[in-house]
């Protein structure tokens, strides 16, 4: 019990200031009783001393009604209001199994996991084996979470810190709440902007958009499952565009391509009018955007938050001749020499909305297993982003068999289109605790790239903030002794920025950003580029810990506000 108290104290010290917290205890008031569970302190802004006092006062006396305590703790968590996305994590730490039998913990976890979006149940087994371990593994799997092994006090503290920090660092959502329909009939009409919805396994969501005959329309859909939730290699998100009910204008599919655990997944598609304007999908009128979730048996059954972005790019001004397309990597290929020098510390964001801006140079961060960190790099007309990611050497825990995880990165355009390696890069590597590195990059930004066949070229048709995501696989939790793993990014932005997309455009004016790098000055002359509407915040998260008679509840109340909707 003393090890548990120290571990929880370490977790509390590491939580963000003001993170709403409230302890619940069970089996601490009576020698016997399968209803012995109570909320000690309502969920409110984190009071570290109060939580530690509650933990210190716990003395295991009687039965361990884990199933009932899980259910009650879920009721303690604040509910999102006004259409907000609420993300809740229940963190159960146990050194044994439930002694009451009813309700069964695994059945409670399954029920809670299916009741709505945003609930995740992680479990940590402290020196457990046999039936106790199987029960905790079942609870985690049924509750869309992950099981962590803790054979000693040090590993208990490490796994507790990882799980709690992963909850505190959850994806920050932004957008106007909407509800897509199961068919095109009655689908909500989207103006350019950012939106929030949810999507279940095997489900399709329809949205309507009114497009003119000459503008490019970009759509992206980012699904945000709970980090590390169960999935299959072939689980996917598909986006497609149709004109009317029977005229397909294209589709794109994004797959996880690994089965260690879920990460954010983005699929994107564009309606790009042809030069001649004679294609059926060049017509002005109503189109349907369809988002589909493909899910295999045994994968996460929870509904996933879905963040949608719709942007419109006006055609070039009359008489403007665009520069030729840039379909080759050139100097930004895999043989490019990365920047060197002392790294600068940076803290990656939780998603697209709070991605940390970086520029040319060397940057150092730290990442948790199952975590994805986000950064953004400005690049304008004629420029290309090229970078390397290095995962650091880390002390490993003792284990009987070889264990491997993975490190991965992905590059996204300003419109959130994920870029493939184009046959040049392989943006995933094995990770075993030894140093590992991967490279990634995009082709130079050019207006006429939109007419190229290759998807990794076609998507790079406008300048702006390019997004970099860096992911460490879930199994790294079974490998690394340190709570976080060091990661270094070596970032290049190649080429001089041009003032516009036209042929023979002059160099753009430059200024220094907050990092001391040279960046572009925005040109508002209307010669190109995507404009995005204002956005509102809708976010929430929470968690509960059950530990040898203690239920420890953490939560962050979600809120939502309406966006200002732009016009096409």
3-state SS, one letter per residue, for 8-24: HHHHHHHCCCCCCEEEE
CB-based contacts of 29: which residues, under 8 Å, 6+ apart?
36, 38, 61, 62
pLDDT at 531: 27
Report the SS3 class of residue 526.
coil
Query: Do residues 306 and 291 make contact, with C-beta atoms less than 8 angstroms apart?
Result: yes
Question: Which phi and psi (to 5°) does residue 122 adopt?
Answer: -95, 150
Question: What is the percentage of the chain residues whose pLDDT exceeds 70?
Answer: 85
Whole-angstrom distance, CA of residue 74 vs CA of residue 51? 18
pLDDT above 50 for 480: yes
Residue 511: which pLDDT band, with cuts at 50, 70 and 90? low
Sign, CA dihedral 496-497-499-504, equals positive
Q: Which of 33-42, 128-137, 296-305, 321-330 has the lowest mean pLDDT?
A: 33-42
Q: Which of 158-167, 330-339, 447-456, 512-521 has the lowest mean pLDDT?
A: 512-521
pLDDT at 82: 56
Q: Which of 75-79, 80-84, 152-156, 311-315 has the lowest mean pLDDT?
A: 80-84
Residue 402: which pLDDT band, with cuts at 50, 70 and 90? low
Rounded mean pLDDT, 8-27:
75
Q: Kindly report the number of other CB atoms within 10 A of residue 131's CB atom.
A: 10
Whole-angstrom distance, CA of residue 345 vs CA of residue 340? 14
pLDDT at 79: 72
How wide is the angle at C-alpha 428 spanned by C-alphas 427 and 429, nearest 5°? Answer: 130
What is the chain's Cα-based Rg?
25
Q: Kindly report the number of other CB atoms within 10 A of residue 52's CB atom.
A: 16
Question: Which phi and psi (to 5°) does residue 98 adopt?
Answer: -60, 135
Q: Which of 109-118, 243-252, 278-287, 535-544 has the lowest mean pLDDT?
A: 535-544
pLDDT above 70 for 455: yes
pLDDT at 351: 98
Rounded mean pLDDT, 160-184:
90
- Exposure of 330 in the CB half-sphere (CA atoms within 13 A): 17
Domains 176-313 and 330-520 equal at CATH topology level:
yes
Q: What is the pLDDT of residues 342-398, one digit of tens each?
A: 999 999 999 999 999 999 999 999 999 999 999 999 999 999 999 999 999 988 887
Give this prediction's pTM: 0.85
pLDDT above 70 for 551: no
Whole-angstrom distance, CA of residue 236 vs CA of residue 199? 12
Q: Which two tokens stand for residue 275?
A: 């030069």
Q: What does the buried/exposed string (b/e) look like for 6-39 if buried means 16 or more CB atoms within 10 Å of the residue's CB?
A: ebbbbbbeebeeebbbbbbbbbbeeeeebebbeb
E-strand ranges in 40-140 read 87-94, 119-126
pLDDT at 454: 96
pLDDT at 499: 94
Residue 568: which pLDDT band, with cuts at 50, 70 and 90? very low
Residue that is written with structure tokens 């719709």 in the block: 310
CA dihedral (406, 412, 416, 418) in degrees, to 10, reads -60
pLDDT above 60 for 563: no
Residue 501 or 85, more confident = 501
| Cα 360 versus chain centre, distance | 24
Q: Pick one of 3.40.50.410, 1.20.120.530, 3.40.1190.20, 3.90.170.10 as the CATH number of 2-172+539-559.
A: 3.40.50.410
Q: What is the pLDDT of residues 233-266, one digit of tens each?
A: 999 999 999 997 668 999 999 999 999 999 999 9
N- to C-terminal Cα separation, the chain: 61
Whole-angstrom distance, CA of residue 215 vs CA of residue 207? 19
Residue 49 or 24, more confident = 49
Q: Pick one of 2.60.120.380, 2.30.110.10, 2.40.70.10, 3.40.50.920 as the CATH number of 176-313.
A: 2.60.120.380
pLDDT above 90 for 122: no
Whole-angstrom distance, CA of residue 121 vs CA of residue 139? 7
pLDDT above 50 for 525: no
Query: Do residues 329 and 424 make contact, with C-beta atoms less than 8 angstroms apart?
Result: yes
Rounded mean pLDDT, 116-133:
83
Q: Which two tokens stand for residue 223?
A: 């699904």
**Residue 42: which H helix or E strand, with range?**
none
Q: Pick one of 3.40.50.620, 2.60.120.280, 3.40.50.2000, 2.60.120.380 as the CATH number of 330-520.
A: 2.60.120.380
pLDDT above 50 for 530: no
The domains of the chain are located at 2-172+539-559, 176-313, 330-520
| Cα 102 versus chain centre, distance | 36
Query: What does pLDDT average to over the chain?
Result: 84
Q: What is the pLDDT of residues 153-169, one digit of tens each?
A: 788 888 888 888 888 88
């Amino acid at each position: 019990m003393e090890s548990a108290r120290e571990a929880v104290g370490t977790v509390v010290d590491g939580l963000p200031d003001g993170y709403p917290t409230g302890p619940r205890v069970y089996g601490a008031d009576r020698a016997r009783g399968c209803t012995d569970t109570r909320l000690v302190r309502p969920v409110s802004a984190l009071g570290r001393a109060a939580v530690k006092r509650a933990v210190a006062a716990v003395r295991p006396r009687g039965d361990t009604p884990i199933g009932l305590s899980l259910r009650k703790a879920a009721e303690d968590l604040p509910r999102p209001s006004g259409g907000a996305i609420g993300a809740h994590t229940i963190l159960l730490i146990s050194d044994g199994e439930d002694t009451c039998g009813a309700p069964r913990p695994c059945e409670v976890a399954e029920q809670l996991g299916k009741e709505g979006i945003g609930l995740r149940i992680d479990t940590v087994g402290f020196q457990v084996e046999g039936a106790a371990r199987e029960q905790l593994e079942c609870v985690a799997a049924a509750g869309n979470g992950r099981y962590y092994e803790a054979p000693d006090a040090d590993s208990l503290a490490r796994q507790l810190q990882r799980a709690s920090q992963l909850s505190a660092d959850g994806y920050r959502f932004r957008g106007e709440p909407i509800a897509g329909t199961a068919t095109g009939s009655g689908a909500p009409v989207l103006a350019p902007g950012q939106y929030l919805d949810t999507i279940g396994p095997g489900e399709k969501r329809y949205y309507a958009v009114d497009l003119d005959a000459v503008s490019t329309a970009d759509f992206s859909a980012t699904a945000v499952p709970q980090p590390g939730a169960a999935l299959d290699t072939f689980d996917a998100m598909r986006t497609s565009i149709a004109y009317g009910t029977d005229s397909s204008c294209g589709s794109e599919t994004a797959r996880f391509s690994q089965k260690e655990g879920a990460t954010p997944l983005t699929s994107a598609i564009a309606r790009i009018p042809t030069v001649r304007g004679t294609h059926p999908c060049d017509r002005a009128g109503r189109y349907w955007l369809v988002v589909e979730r493909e899910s295999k048996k045994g994968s996460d059954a929870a509904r996933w938050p879905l963040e949608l972005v719709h942007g419109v790019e006006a055609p070039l001004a009359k008489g403007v001749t665009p520069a030729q397309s840039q379909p080759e990597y050139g100097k930004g290929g895999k043989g490019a020499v990365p920047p060197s020098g002392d790294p600068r510390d940076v803290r990656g964001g939780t998603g697209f909305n709070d991605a940390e801006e970086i520029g040319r140079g060397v940057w150092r961060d730290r990442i948790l297993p199952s975590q994805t960190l986000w950064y953004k790099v400005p690049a304008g007309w004629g420029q290309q982003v090229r970078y390397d990611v290095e995962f650091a050497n880390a002390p490993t825990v003792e284990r009987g068999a070889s264990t491997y995880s993975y490190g991965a990165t992905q590059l996204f355009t300003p419109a959130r289109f994920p870029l493939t390696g184009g046959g040049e890069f392989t943006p995933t590597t094995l990770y075993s605790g030894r140093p590992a590195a991967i490279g990634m990059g995009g082709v130079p930004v050019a207006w006429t790239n939109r007419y190229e066949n290759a998807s990794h070229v076609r998507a790079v048709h406008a300048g702006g903030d390019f997004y970099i995501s860096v992911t460490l696989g879930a199994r790294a939790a079974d490998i690394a002794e340190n709570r976080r793993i060091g990661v270094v990014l070596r970032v290049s932005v190649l080429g001089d920025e041009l003032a516009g997309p036209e042929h023979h455009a002059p160099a753009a004016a430059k200024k220094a950003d907050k990092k001391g790098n040279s960046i572009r000055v925005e040109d508002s002359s209307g010669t190109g580029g995507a404009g995005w509407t204002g956005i509102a915040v809708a976010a929430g998260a929470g968690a509960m810990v059950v530990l040898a008679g203690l239920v420890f509840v953490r939560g962050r109340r979600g809120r939502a506000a309406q966006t200002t909707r732009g016009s096409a």
